[in-house]
Amino acid sequence: MTQIITLNKIQELIDFENEIKDLFLAKKIRNPIHLSGTNELELIKIFEKIKPNDWVFSTHRNHYHALLKGIPKEEVKRQVLNQSMHINSRKHKFFTSAIVGGILPIALGVAMAIKRKKGKDKVYAFIGDMAAEMGVFQECLKYAEGYDLPITFIIEDNGLSVETNTRKSWGLKETKVVKYAYVRKFPHTGIGQWITF
């Protein structure tokens, strides 16, 4: 990819997000929006490897992914205006979920189906850095590795989960585990007896 094409593609992505931002400010979008920025070049490089027949599973922050997968700008804009976080296109093999890590088991299932059918397509699953610390990701990753599935997981690491510092929230270096056993006095919720008013 030449530098001029790359610069043009970067600007197209930025312009699209700015248009969505302006529509949101003009109260044309009534749903939550999740915009991208500063990661254009990295995504362009990743999507150079993704073929039209490959599957892409994305997150709530999916506008750039949808555009780079080949979904026309006007179609992405229409879906953002109607539902924002849930851009999907069967034609482009592009699916999203706003549930943190929720798309991963689905992506894994598609990869398993491709392998069982001896297909050539691949699956790409995007997640954020907080989701990468969740059990669902660890299980999907281990399963994919164990069965040699045609799936690649892409962690988009901005160091934040909403506004929480991912590193501090997990405290992976500072955490010490203390475990003790006890017998519960009360049930999981409530006090264990009915109260009438």
In order of their start, the domains of the chain are 3-165 (3.40.50.970)
Does the pLDDT of residue 2 top 50, yes or no? yes
Give the pLDDT confidence score for residue 166 in this predicted structure: 74
pLDDT: which is higher, 95 or 98:
95
DSSP 131: G
Output the pTM of the full model: 0.82
Does the pLDDT of residue 1 top 70, yes or no? no
Does the pLDDT of residue 180 top 80, yes or no? no
Give the pLDDT confidence score for residue 68 in this predicted structure: 98
Does the pLDDT of residue 63 top 90, yes or no? yes
* Nearest of 89, 11, 81 to residue 44 by alpha carbon: 11
Give the pLDDT confidence score for residue 5 in this predicted structure: 78
Give the pLDDT confidence score for residue 105 in this predicted structure: 97
User: In the chain, pLDDT over 70 holds for what percent of residues?
Assistant: 84
| 184-187 CB contacts, 8 Å cutoff, 24+ apart | none
Give the pLDDT confidence score for residue 157 in this predicted structure: 84
Three state DSSP letters for 88-103: CECCCCEEECCCCCCC
